[in-house]
Amino acid sequence: MLTARNVLIGGLLLRAGMLLYGLWQDANMTVKYTDIDYNVFTDAARFVWEGGSPYQRSTYRYTPLLAWILTPNVWLHPTFGKWLFVACDCVVGALIARIIQERGMSDQKSAAYSALWLLNPQVATISTRGSAESVVCAAVMAAFYAFQRKQIVLGSMIFGLAVHLKIYPVVYALPLLVVLDGAALDARSVTPPARPKSHSSNIGCHLKGLVNAHRICFFVVSAGVFFLLSTAMYCMYGREFVHETYLYHVARKDHRHNYSMWFLPIYLTFRSPASVVMGLLSFLPQAIVVAVLGFVYGRDLYFAAFVQTFAFVAYNKVCTAQYFMWYVCFLPVIWPYNSQRLVAKGLILLGVWFGSQALYLQQAYRLEFLGENTFAQLWTAGLAIFVANNWILQQIITTQKTVPLFGTSSHQTSQLSAKKVR
């Protein structure tokens, strides 16, 4: 029988099998299964365990907190971190099922949609190879679930932790501020009869409505947790922590080929003053699109986060497969309310998404393994990925029924889902 529990067990077994296979591949094949980043994590954890700085390991660009968490890699077993990432993967899957159930859907439907994450081989591969993205995804989903249950303080605390772990979730602050509307959040509130007011009074009331206790609580608590953790790290590791954890990613210029359409312009201007202009050109459209999407769709928190993250990754000047996890975790929650969720239409979107990546990987293989000069073809493939992602995003937005996080009962949500099935 298809249940959320069975899907969760299946997802855990899938990851356990892939992790054990990875150990065999690492020991017996030239091409290693383990991601190079996992070796970086382990080296940084060793430096921390020995009383040093994680930044003694070159290319460690993360919070020291992650290195501390992974110290059992040194004193317990080298695969501890991978099992931790697998556990976080499963936490995300369990939260997806719970979120969907509390939005009015049956256990069977929540199981089917959570399988999009738990039984997704690409997601399982990324975590079992040793990428830490699942830790951040688990923190973000836990924060959103707390907000859904109107646990504002708890949600704000976890959100502050998520932003400390990795800076990109800060973009969700905008839809969170939009959704934390006093009247919508407090289901018991009764709006008094309207009275005639002057124009200045209306402006005053509008401004007063923008600032409410929930938004103040969110800002103070989340910012407080973020700055508390960051201050503690700064006191121990100084400016190196600020630069490697945050500033590096803001000003990052990666001349190595990746899915981003910006890689070739950055490669060609890497050591010239024009690289500054190139960085600005890549950042402005990304910031504008992400901000507009967050504001327009903010009342449907999960959908706003999905489209924001999808656009953020598509427009980013660096894009790798790990980044896809940032928005795939929201897909099972929003997909029940999309009219294209039928298999045929969904497969078309999936085919375009995978097809554009396959086009790129073909050229990357020729460059890396055959030694052919395919930089122009790689850039063209990157443009194809960018166009494909924008088309996919447009298709999803135009066929999505937004569901406010607050103000819609489970019964209403269930009725809405039933209508869309017909």
The whole-angstrom separation of Cα 59 and Cα 39 is 11
Pick out the chain residues at pLDDT < 50.
189-203, 205-206, 409-422
pTM over 0.85? The answer is yes
| Amino acid at residue number 187 | A
Helix, strand, or coil here: 400? strand
pLDDT of residue 1: 78
46 touches 72 (CB < 8 A): no
Report the alpha-carbon distance of residue 336 to residue 123 in Å, rounded: 20
Residues 6+ apart with CB under 8 A from 217: 152, 153, 156
pLDDT at site 256: 67
Separation CA 54–CA 399 (nearest Å): 46
pLDDT of 281: 76
pLDDT digits (tens, 9 = 90+) for 12-25: 999 999 999 999 99
Give exposure, 250-288, as e/b (b: 16+ Cβ within 10 Å): eeebbeebbbbbbbbbbbebeeeeebeebbeebbeebee
- Collapsing DSSP states into helix, strand and coil, what is residue 338? strand
Directed axis angle between helix 133-148 and helix 301-315, to 10°? 150
Task: State the CB neighbour count (10 A cutoff) for residue 199.
Answer: 7
Q: Could you give the CA distance from residue 52 to residue 319 in angstroms, rounded to a whole number?
A: 31
C-alpha distance from residue 119 to each of 9, 25, 277, 318, 405 (Å)? 10, 22, 42, 27, 26
pLDDT at 341: 59
